[in-house]
Amino acid sequence: MKVFVTGGAGYIGSTLVSALVEKGYKVTCMDRLFFGKESLAETLSNPSLNLIKEDVRWFDAGILKGFDVVIDLAALSNDPSGELDPTKTLDINYLGRVRVAKLSREYGVKRYVLASSCSAYGFQEGMLNEESTLNPLTTYAKANALAERDVLPLADTQFCVTVPRMATVYGLSKRMRFDLAINGMVLSLYKTGKISVMRDGTQWRPFVHVKDVANAFVRVIESPIDVVNGQIFNVGSDEQNYQIYPLAKLIGESIGVPLDIEWYGSPDKRSYRVDFSKIRKTLNFVPSHTARDGALEVYKALKEGTVTDSTKTKTVEWYKHLLEAHALTKEVALRDTIL
């Protein structure tokens, strides 16, 4: 089976691409490489992986010929990054991914998988399932909801469309991120002895390990088409719905450090608990990792120096850096032209 992955050099993508190659799939990764290609360094030595530097908004559609599956991960990731330039976020995360889906169908791809997010639930009480009304509060979440709305109707007997909605992801990745809740808490604890917690700590959020996310995508593309076609699956587990303050306590206890909280920000307007029974019952998917596992592995990696904190590990900071560098380059070019 030939698999085409957009955004395959990212936090989730690099983990997924590695898993696909290990399982023997022929994989093509298309990525803008804003964060470089180091996350794929080990996997690129495998002849089963091909890397293309391109953008979902304007890549040559002919690239899609001959692929069995497209897994669409390309996006400006997380809520703060989405607000840097809302128009661009919608162009990439919504219109770009709808373009990929339509072109996939046009060029004979059999399966299309849209990576979405439980963030689209926004703020709601009770346990939310795939049939619950969406309430996206940020540009990032709205783009996911819009992409779902326009992509799912493309499904038919010749074109399978599946939408995994991911819980908040954590854990080690070759393209490490410390702007995710659990990873960020661990980094804060490692660097300062305190855990940074966004006010007021009562907000709910579901969590899932990055390796479990990769396994969920594999499970989707290996399942019978009639089981997953036109379906949405929340990806995570009921046991990993946490309120943020108790989660911080759990992380401190896991690592064995006395809890010392450092509060920041205004009270979070996002709060949602998610029901993951559908993916468990339909695809027999149960995560293998826990928040405790993830916290320990990240803390250990920091102590051993196998992973380090940098501007690149915080998505919004790196995007700001790229925007400033681009603006400076344009200014220098203009000055050189005038002189």
Strands 271-274 and 123-128: what pairing?
parallel
What burial letters (b/e) apply to 158-186, b meaning 16+ CB within 10 Å?
A: ebbbbbbbbbbbbbbbbbbbbbbbbbbbb
- Residue 15: name the closest of 199, 170, 196 by CA: 170
Average pLDDT, the chain: 94
Predicted pLDDT of residue 264: 87
Instruction: Report percent pLDDT > 70 for the chain.
Output: 96
pLDDT band at 269 (very low <50, low <70, confident <90, very high): confident
pLDDT tens-digit series, residues 88-134: 999 999 999 999 999 999 999 999 999 999 999 999 999 999 999 99
Q: How far apart are CA 173 and CA 279, in angstroms?
A: 24
What burial letters (b/e) apply to 257-286, b meaning 16+ CB within 10 Å?
A: eeeebeeeeeebebbbbbbbebbbeebebe
Distances (CA, A) of 17 to 33, 125, 211, 229: 14, 36, 11, 22
pLDDT tens-digit series, residues 167-226: 999 999 999 999 999 999 999 999 999 998 889 999 999 999 999 999 999 999 999 999
Residue 121 near residue 99, CB atoms below 8 Å: no
Q: How far apart are CA 40 and CA 174, in angstroms?
A: 7
* 23 pLDDT above the threshold of 90: yes
pLDDT band at 333 (very low <50, low <70, confident <90, very high): very low
Name the packing angle between helices 139-151 and 97-106 (round to 10°).
Answer: 20
Predicted pLDDT of residue 331: 40
Predicted pLDDT of residue 13: 98
Distances (CA, A) of 90 to 7, 82, 129, 143: 16, 8, 25, 6
Q: How many residues in the chain?
A: 339
Class in CATH terms, 2-317: alpha beta
SS3 letters across 153-189: HHCECCEEEEEEEECEEECCCCCCCCCCHHHHHHHHH
Residue the block writes with tokens 């995360």 = 93
Percentage helix, strand, coil for the chain under 3-state DSSP, each rounded to 5: 45, 20, 30
Q: Which two tokens stand for residue 78?
A: 């997380």
* 338 pLDDT above the threshold of 80: no
Sign of CA dihedral 75, 78, 81, 86: positive
Which pTM value belongs to this model?
0.94
Residue 113 near residue 170, CB atoms below 8 Å: no
Predicted pLDDT of residue 258: 81
- Residue 127: name the closest of 234, 9, 42 by CA: 234
Residue 314 parent element (H or E): none
pLDDT band at 7 (very low <50, low <70, confident <90, very high): very high
Residue 231 parent element (H or E): strand 231-235
First CA to last CA across the chain, in angstroms? 56
pLDDT band at 323 (very low <50, low <70, confident <90, very high): confident
CA 115 to chain centre: 7
* 337 pLDDT above the threshold of 50: no
